[in-house]
Amino acid sequence: MNFALILFVLSVLTGIAWVLDKFALAPRRAAAARAALTSFDERIRREGGDAKAVAAERATLAEHLAASPAWVEYTASFFPVLIAVFLLRSFVAEPFKIPSSSMRPTLEVGDFILVNKFAYGIRLPIIEKKIIDLGMPQHGDVVVFRYPLDPSVDYIKRVIGLPGDVVEYRDKKLAINGNPLPQVADGTYGWLEGMRFEETQKVQETANAGGVPKSYDIAVNALAPPIQPGNVRAFPGRDNCEYNERGFTCRVPPGEYFMMGDNRDFSDDSRYWGFVPDANLRGRAFFIWFNWDDIVNGAFKRVGRGVH
């Protein structure tokens, strides 16, 4: 379901109703109300009456005449709210919900996050065409993007390779352009996956984000192979990659990015379906604003945290 398109259509329809009411119907109602009140005042001058009762009757009549029709209340009155939400979601920040475990331990199932929509440029809503270039992803950014094999589906992963980079993953260790990413063991990490408990090693990995070190936690299953060759699809640029039992090497094409999940052995990512074009980028994840389990349990360990 394209929520942005639905929101846009509703904004247009309510906007038409708002313009029609403001510039055509509301002035007519106001003129009719003034005429009715003038007629009321003339009748009272002729017939007289108790001043207090007349004042109350006139107030009731004025209130009735000033009321908007029901269709205005349920259409035009929603226009300012809908257009504000549409513009905020399109150009400032958009909410997303984490559906899978592929980004553990950074993001857990049920996390509601906010995504910066202008971090990598201003894009026209609906058609997602970039019109103003404001920056590009850096190594280590957590990014929401349209899945290359099905653009109607949104994915979230971490940027591992930039255009032109050579990404090497051997024996569970990453190297970018021949430079290994430092890793420091940080105990274990476990979670409940359905009815099964999973436990992995927790490792702090550090990327070079434009000359600035950027550290984040990843989960690594020591018993799992570095790559599942049977899961590798035929994707555009597949000839830029070499796979073997120890891992792979890929050169990232111009204008595209290589993405991996932090839960390295539980993530379907660029290792298996290829590169992400710049045109598919939705924005950079930066904040966890809600997690139902976190609130119900009274832990508040996730709500209000930044995404690193």
What torsion do the CA atoms of 88, 91, 95, 100 make, to the nearest 10 degrees? 170
**Secondary structure (H, E, C), 154-215:** EEEEEEEECCCCEEEEECCEEEECCEECCEEEEEEEEEEECCEEEEEEEEEEEEEECCEEEE
The one catalytic residue in 157, 172, 202, 270 is 157
Cβ pair 137, 157 in contact under 8 A: no
Q: How confident is the model at residue 3 (pLDDT cuts 50, 70, 90)?
A: confident
- Which residues, listed in sequence order, are joined to residue 244 by a DSSP beta bridge? 247
Catalytic residue among 11, 90, 101, 102: 102
211 has a pLDDT exceeding 70: yes
Average pLDDT over residues 103-124: 96
Pick from 206, 204, 203, 222: which is nearest to 214 by CA?
Answer: 206
Q: What is the mean pLDDT of residues 272-291?
A: 97
Query: Residue 47 has what pLDDT?
Result: 85
Answer whether residue 1 shows pLDDT above 70: no
267 is catalytic: no
CA proximity to 226, closest of 179, 284, 174, 279: 174
Cα–Cα distance, 188 to 182 (Å, whole number): 18
Read off the pLDDT of residues 214-235 as tens digits, 9 standing for 90 and up. Answer: 999 999 998 999 999 889 999 9
Contact 75, 22 (CB under 8 A): no
Count other C-beta atoms under 10 Å from residue 173's C-beta.
16
pLDDT in tens, 159-172: 999 999 999 999 99
Can 102 be counted among the known catalytic residues? yes
The alpha carbon of residue 180 and the mean position of all alpha carbons in its chain are separated, in whole angstroms, by: 31
Per-residue pLDDT reduced to its tens digit, 60-106? 988 888 888 888 888 888 999 999 999 999 999 999 999 999 999 99
Q: What is the DSSP letter of 235?
A: -
- The mean of the pLDDT values for the chain is 93
- Note the pLDDT of residue 304: 92
